[in-house]
Amino acid sequence: MPDTRAVKSIGGLLHPGPDSDYGRRGRSEWLDFPWERHQHQIRIDGRDAHYVDVGEGPALVFIHGLGASWQSWLENIPEFSRDHRVVAMDLPGFGCSDTPEDISIEYYADWTFRLLDELGIEKSAVVGNSMGGFIAADMAILRPERIHRLAVVSAAVFWQEYRRAQPLVQLARMSDAIVARALTRVTDDVATRPRLRSWALATAGFRYPHLIEKQLAHEMVRSARRTDGFLPALEAMADFPLEEQLPKISCPALIVWGAHDTLVPVKDAKRMEDLIPDSRRVVFERTGHVAMLERPERFNTLLREFLDEDPEQREGAAAERAA
């Protein structure tokens, strides 16, 4: 007689449930969005930087993770550009932005502030995924007067711990060039080859890569072709302790994680919540490393509620938790 528990376990690896909101239901808005009107180039430190700037209203900045690009926020930018000025960039060394001589978390935080200066943005909410969450947190620590709300998605803020960081850096040194060449060769075919598509998305932390639409899968791999900044950025994360600084974050913080994140463990979410004074933690079940792409509708609703929250209501909720 077959072990039904094993069958259920295997099924859970393939399907997020009959009523799941995993992936996008219906046609994604980003497919019909006029991206060409809102993509720009700017010179910072004598190097070209690529960014998206769209919408009017309070500023909202999206920062991508390691090996990614501004396209990490394809499912989110159209939604928030309705009533926000949304900025999403290719960090130096990723996407279409030139690579600087030296990469560090402090450099990325300072570079992002300089980009915002060039765009005339004095204060903003900032949202970061993985390494982008690391950078966003550092921004909130360095210039608290300029960040009024912070949201992180699977933030890689504890990767400096030796047991985790060292194997990752060693693996990257061995595989970076090989993987980069492989992805360059297969990018144009990934949307039509299901196994290849699933492999590429699985390495990026998607829990159910076979359920992500082909167009989005293609964009994720295509936009990750330039990897000049990958290894130095990974080394920068492994060499920059932030834990002792997290209690200095004074703005409200939203911490979002996937319960099945294979790249940054979900236990780090609770650790961040304990360290950041005015923070809340939300964990998406059966979700991996990129909740904003895996469950875009749920993520967008959650982020909008956080951004629209009345300050007095927020203070009252914090007081209740402390009582």
For tokens 């711990």, name the residue: 161
Token code pair at residue 274: 């304990």
Kindly report, residue by residue over 227-267, the tens digit of the pLDDT: 678 778 877 887 788 899 999 999 999 999 999 998 889 99
The residue with greater pLDDT, 39 or 318, is 39
Q: What is the DSSP letter of 206?
A: -
Residue 313 scores a pLDDT above 90? no
* pLDDT given at position 194: 67
Q: Residue 224: which residues within 8 A CB-CB, separation 6 or more?
A: 67, 68, 69, 183, 204
- Judged by DSSP in three states, 119 sits in coil
Count CB atoms within 10 A of the CB of residue 76: 22
Report angle CA 22, 159, 284 to the nearest 5 degrees.
20
* pLDDT given at position 224: 66
Question: Residues of the chain with pLDDT > 90: what percent?
Answer: 60
Cα–Cα distances in angstroms (integers) from residue 221 to residues 186, 225, 290, in the given order: 9, 7, 14
pTM: 0.86
Kindly report, residue by residue over 182-203, the tens digit of the pLDDT: 444 445 555 456 677 777 788 8
Token code pair at residue 215: 């167009």
* pLDDT given at position 161: 62
Residue 11 scores a pLDDT above 60? no
Question: Residues of the chain with pLDDT > 70: what percent?
Answer: 77
- Judged by DSSP in three states, 261 sits in coil
The residue with greater pLDDT, 257 or 320, is 257
* pLDDT given at position 231: 79
User: Is the alpha carbon torsion for 129, 271, 262, 174 positive or negative?
Assistant: positive
* pLDDT given at position 49: 97
Token code pair at residue 88: 């999403």
